[in-house]
Amino acid sequence: MYEAFYGLTEKPFSIQPDPDFLFFSKRHGLAYAMLEYGVQNRAGFTVISGEIGAGKTTLIRHLLNNLPGMVTVGLITNTHKGISEILRWVMQAFDQPFDGMSDVGLYGAFQGFLINEYSAGRRVILIIDEAQNLSLDSLEALRILSNINTDKHQLLQLILTGQPELKSVLSRPDLQQFAQRVAVDFHISPITVDEVALYILHRLKVAGRNELLFTRQASLAVARYSKGIPRSINILCDTALVYGMAADAAMIDDTIIEEVMRDKRQFGVFSYDEDVDLAVDNDAHPVDGAIPIRP
């Protein structure tokens, strides 16, 4: 809609988890480094947590695009409170047969699958998104699956991502054995005020615009209202571009951001809290045309 008006080749602030737009803030860079470390060192369990919209799924998509060749990956994304019989979901994630099998048969079939993959020189990684929804029984079943190994090698690596509740769940006393298997864990906190400005610049650049479009004051307003959550930044910036085009504005300034928020408060479905105190990273200063992007 506004792409041609602002010289963009595509929408820069889609809420879809597109790894092409991934911005490596300090925390996202560290989270990805921990994911890579877990994969390379055959960690039994790697756990990445963060708020809704913090960018966890986008990091996973980036990881999937950069895994080495001899890796077999299973992905479970539709977890929910009612999910049961987790092993059937695991078998489905790896495109393995599971209908009509008993629990013992499923375990044996999955163990055989892991051994065959290992014999062929392939590593097996299971990724579970929104893992905070898993029941205690499902988590215990995953722990048992992680016991399948050779004398030297872990045959199954598991990566769990989830909302902050996942940390609370895994801290339960009755999950102590599970927690002891977690070799790598990291929590993605909101990005800082200055990183929000860099984030906006980065996504605009990926979408084809190198010139400044959001003023510094606009970026500060976006940081205040979004609380540093990438998905919230995207929603607010996308709406601001629609308002800017409608007003024939060459730049998006803080008055446009404030207008968007006034309309959201008055006519929108959701409420917005302005009492936000984001961290300031004194080492990050947005300079037009000089955006640090992780290679």
Written as one letter, the residue type at 7 is: G
pLDDT at residue 227 in the model: 95
- Asked whether 178 and 166 are in contact (CB, 8 A), the reply is no
DSSP string, 143-172: HHHTT-B-SS-BSEEEEEEE-THHHHHHTS
d(CA 244, CA 202): 19
DSSP 191: P
Closest CA to 182 of 14, 47, 35, 16: 47
Per-residue pLDDT tens digits of the chain, which is 295 residues long = 899 999 999 999 999 999 999 999 999 999 999 999 999 988 999 999 999 999 999 999 999 999 988 999 999 987 765 445 889 999 999 999 988 888 889 999 999 999 999 999 999 999 999 999 998 888 999 999 998 887 677 899 999 999 999 998 999 999 999 999 999 999 999 999 999 999 999 999 999 999 999 999 999 999 999 999 999 999 999 999 999 999 999 999 999 999 999 998 888 765 555 544 444 443 443 333 322 223 2
d(CA 139, CA 193): 37
Look-up of token digits 């006519």? 267
Q: Where in the chain is the domain with CATH 1.10.8.60?
A: 191-267
pLDDT at residue 149 in the model: 82
Spelled out in words, what is the top-level CATH class assigned to the domain 191-267? mainly alpha
- Residue 21: how many other CB atoms lie within 10 Å: 22
Q: Where in the chain is the domain with CATH 3.40.50.300?
A: 26-188
- pTM of the model as a whole: 0.85
Q: Could you please state the CATH topology (level 3) that the domain comprising 26-188 is classified under.
A: Rossmann fold (3.40.50)
Structure tokens at 157: 């690596």
